[in-house]
Amino acid sequence: EEIDIGKGQKIMIEFVSANPTGPINIASARAAAVGDSLARLLKRTGYNVVSEYYINDGGRQSTLLAESVRQRIRELNGKTAEIPEGGYHGEYIIDLAKEVKEKGIEDIEKIKKYAIDYFTEGHKRILQEFGVEFNNWIRESSIYQKGYVDDVLSLLQEKNLTYVKDGAVWIRTTKFGDNEDRVIITSDNRHTYLLPDIAYHLDKMKRQHDRLINIWGPDHQAQIKSLQCGIIAIGYPRETLEILIVQQVHLKEAGKLIKMSKRAGVIKTLKELLKHVPKDVVRFFLLMRSNSQPLDFDLDLALEQSDENPVFYVQYAHARIKSIIRKVQEQGIEYGGSFAKNLIKETEEIVLVKAILKFPEVIEDAARNFEPYMLTYYLIELARIFHSFYQRHRVINEDKELTQARLALITKTAETIESGLEILGISCPERM
């Protein structure tokens, strides 16, 4: 049945938006799984959804990146490398430096542009492989080019919402509930992240969106309040922007946690993870906890092809039903798809019917709460109920009418699993 809570409202989800300074890590992979499934969920519930990736190509990070690459090129030329403080040490910088050196690029601005494009293309490729699609890829530099950063500054000054203190320009975010005012231009005339961020959200609203959702990692928790206050400062209502924090992911192997950090050169990337674990399993595992809870990703369990592995368990319920339906066709049993409800009287059958009927409510709850994990949990439970029905009752039996009723019941179960997995962006094999 159609669920229409969105009523065609235009909603933009901006997610992942990882800095183009290295590969996509596992925390960003979780944001990708959540954002993509949320986009599918909101589309399913009547919203008009646009998904967007923001490429942070301005700022100090990309300057440090370019300098780190330049130092690695020095090293390749037999000189000593002096990686700047806060720069990037990962192996992946050396690979990039080799490429830049081969191309003979020496100018620091050109190195920066090459490096940003290199990582952005890498992000596009790996996210596509992960089944995550974006309608738009927007660069921070384009927000400057459109003049929105200057527009925001003028607007704030007109409204008397900025002042100068200690040589820096501050925005009066405390007027809108922030716990302190924030610097938007430093005393050495650099823009802090907040100014272009407000301008980017002005750009989003100018593109006729009714609501904005941002999905951020835990390291951005502190910036939520100031951005929300900044958006109110330029004249949009408080409920315009919803920021969801998706918590950290901890990889576990043999029961022990594996440490990861992008900066220290010890890295666990989405690309590496997908080399070891199938895409469906990675997506499902990353959607097994509420956004606000940290998530343990058990690599051993992810690789198991047994009922212990929840993805396998759910997909196997679907494949098992499909195999019964194939058998029905092979045996030439007539199957009409409708059934007499009074024939469904065994406990396991009734529990299964109730579970299927709950599906629309689960979708609605998940959409209202922006929590795809509710669907993941529901599918595991539905599979469990189906398996327990299947162990106790024969679908194809002597009683033709009962056979019809049970075929209708399991067909509906398979459709529900398929529909749920589709929202999670996970495939639904007919055979396993």
Domains by residue range for the chain, with CATH: 1-145+247-303 (3.40.50.620), 310-424 (1.10.730.10)
Assess contact for 371 and 290: CB atoms under 8 A. yes
**pLDDT for the residue 97:** 97
8: alpha, beta or left? (left if phi > 0; alpha if psi -120 to 50):
left
Confidence of residue 339 (pLDDT cuts 50, 70, 90): low
- Residue type at 343? L
Please provide the DSSP assignment of 6-40 as one string: STT-EEEEE-----TTS--BHHHHHHHHHHHHHHH
Confidence of residue 259 (pLDDT cuts 50, 70, 90): low
- Residue type at 223? Q
Measured CA distances, 352 to 85, 229, 422 (Å): 59, 48, 20
**pLDDT for the residue 260:** 58
Token pair recorded at residue 203? 């750009």
Confidence of residue 108 (pLDDT cuts 50, 70, 90): very high
pLDDT, greater one: 48 or 339 = 48
Measured CA distances, 8 to 5, 49, 209, 308, 368 (Å): 9, 9, 11, 40, 15
**pLDDT for the residue 2:** 84
Assess contact for 392 and 376: CB atoms under 8 A. no
Per-residue pLDDT at 263 exceeds 80: no
Q: In whole angstroms, what is the distance from residue 15 CA to residue 6 CA?
A: 20
| pLDDT mean over 163-190 | 97
Strands 241-245 and 211-216, bridge-based pairing: parallel
Q: What is the CB neighbour count within 10 angstroms for residue 124?
A: 14
Q: In whole angstroms, what is the distance from residue 340 CA to residue 31 CA?
A: 45
Please identify which residue in the block is written with the tokens 């820096």: 168
| pLDDT mean over 282-288 | 98
| pLDDT mean over 224-237 | 97
Per-residue pLDDT at 311 exceeds 60: yes
| Vertex 252: Cα angle to 246 and 257 (nearest 5) | 90
pLDDT, greater one: 342 or 376 = 376
261 DSSP 8-state letter: B
Q: In whole angstroms, what is the distance from residue 140 CA to residue 229 CA?
A: 20
Work out the percent of the chain whose per-residue pLDDT is above 70.
97
239 DSSP 8-state letter: G
Closest CA to 316 of 161, 430, 204, 171: 430
**pLDDT for the residue 94:** 94
| pLDDT mean over 170-194 | 96
Q: In whole angstroms, what is the distance from residue 226 CA to residue 232 CA?
A: 10
Q: In whole angstroms, what is the distance from residue 70 CA to residue 355 CA?
A: 59
| pLDDT mean over 169-184 | 97
Q: In whole angstroms, what is the distance from residue 352 CA to residue 391 CA?
A: 13
State pTM to two decimals.
Answer: 0.94
| pLDDT mean over 168-196 | 96
Task: For the chain, report the end-to-end CA distance as a whole number of angstroms.
Answer: 29
Per-residue pLDDT at 267 exceeds 50: no
| pLDDT mean over 348-376 | 97
